[in-house]
Amino acid sequence: MKILNNKKELIIDSKEIEDEKNNHTEKFVLEYCVKNHISLKFANLRNANLRTADLRSVDLRSANLTHANLEFANLKNANLEFANLRSASLAYADLTNAILKHATLRSADLTGVNLEHANLKYANLEHADLEHANLSYANLTGANVENVDLEDENFKDENF
């Protein structure tokens, strides 16, 4: 793991922190980055345990969050444009005003997630579980919602 202070960017490989003993270290490092406005753009956080992490307004553009645990995480105003969240668990996470343009959320667990005012333009939600999700005012223009059951979701002025 390297923190590049002059560029305010972090180069992190989750292999360095993914073992069971370091789950608290993982969240601490990421929350430190958030508080110090260090970008996590292109970060490899595959299989990361970020359950309940405070990641408000974090820059996770093009980050690899495949199979990551983001349950109950606070991702309000986060930028996840082009992020890979395939098979990630975001159950009950708060993604209010998050940018998820072109993000891959294929087979992600989005149960009870708050996506109010989120930008999901051209996102891939194929096979995602959106049970009890709040998609009020979300922008889903061009999003792939193939094999997604949207029957019980909370919609209000959503854009498709």
CA–CA distance, 135 with 158 (Å, rounded to integer):
7
DSSP helix, strand, coil percent of the chain (3-state; round to 5): 10, 20, 70
Q: What is the pLDDT of residue 151?
A: 60
Buried b vs exposed e over 83-107: b needs ≥16 C-beta within 10 Å?
Answer: bbbbbbbbbbbbbbbbbbbbbbbbb
* Percentage of residues in the chain having pLDDT higher than 70: 76
In order of their start, the domains of the chain are: 1-160 (2.160.20.80)
Which pair of tokens denotes residue 5? 């202070």
Enter the pTM of the model.
0.81
Instruction: For the chain, give the percent of residues with pLDDT over 90.
Output: 64
Torsion of CA 11, 5, 101, 137, to 10 degrees: 130
Collapsing DSSP states into helix, strand and coil, what is residue 35?
A: helix
Residue-wise pLDDT tens digits, 117-144:
999 999 999 999 999 999 999 999 999 9
Q: Is 114 in contact with 93 (CB distance < 8 Å)?
A: yes
Going by C-beta distance under 8 Å and a sequence separation of 6 or more, which residues neighbour residue 6? none
Q: What is the pLDDT of residues 50-94, one digit of tens each?
A: 999 999 999 999 999 999 999 999 999 999 999 999 999 999 999
Element (H, E) at 136: none
Number of helices (H) and strands (E) in the chain: give both, helices first.
1, 2
